[in-house]
Amino acid sequence: MELAIISDTHLPRGARVLPEACVARLRAADLILHAGDLMRAEVLDALEALGPPVAAVHGNVDDAGVLARLPERRVVAAGGARIGMVHDAGPAAGRLERLRRAFGDCDAVVFGHSHIPLHETSADGAFQIFNPGSPTDRRRQPQHTMGTATVDGGPPAFTLIALG
């Protein structure tokens, strides 16, 4: 199973749009994960119109339409793995263990909020956290990014994708 993972799209805002390379990966995925800060319900509608199912959580800047449709946290079953989702994973210090406790039955947690791409694996290799960065709002990062994951009966294999 192929997952396309995005967060912090912050749309609509000015002339900002999802990069075509991002849209192509979203369309080709078996499942789209969005870790919050869509901003408007029509952004969720547009993602759902791409074809694959969408699993998402709301973020801290999402409007009432998004808040009404999406939970703050969720767990997604995908290809034999359990993936937790939350927008704001809190401070960097102790994040991996904090998320492991909060999502104890999961193999991994996908989160957003910071716009800083991150992939960490626990010392025992049994748990991962992944932040795909942002495809539209890189802030202080050198590139716009998104993520993918392949899940085939085991833990997710995450990849960070630079979009330029």
One DSSP character per residue, 40-93 reads SHHHHHHHHTTSS-EEE---TT--HHHHHHS-SEEEEEETTEEEEEES----ST
Q: What is the average pLDDT score of the chain?
A: 96
Q: What is the CATH number of the domain that holds 119?
A: 3.60.21.10
Which residue segment(s) compose the domain that 139 sits in? 2-162
Q: Taking the model in full, what pTM does it have?
A: 0.96
Residue-wise pLDDT tens digits, 42-101: 999 999 999 999 999 999 999 999 999 999 999 999 999 999 999 999 999 999 999 999
Number of domains in the chain: 1
User: What is the mean predicted confidence (pLDDT) over 28-35?
Assistant: 98
The pLDDT, as a whole number, for residue 140 is 87
Q: In whole angstroms, how far apart are CA 154 and each of 4, 69, 107, 138, 148?
A: 17, 30, 9, 31, 15
Residue-wise pLDDT tens digits, 147-156: 999 999 999 9
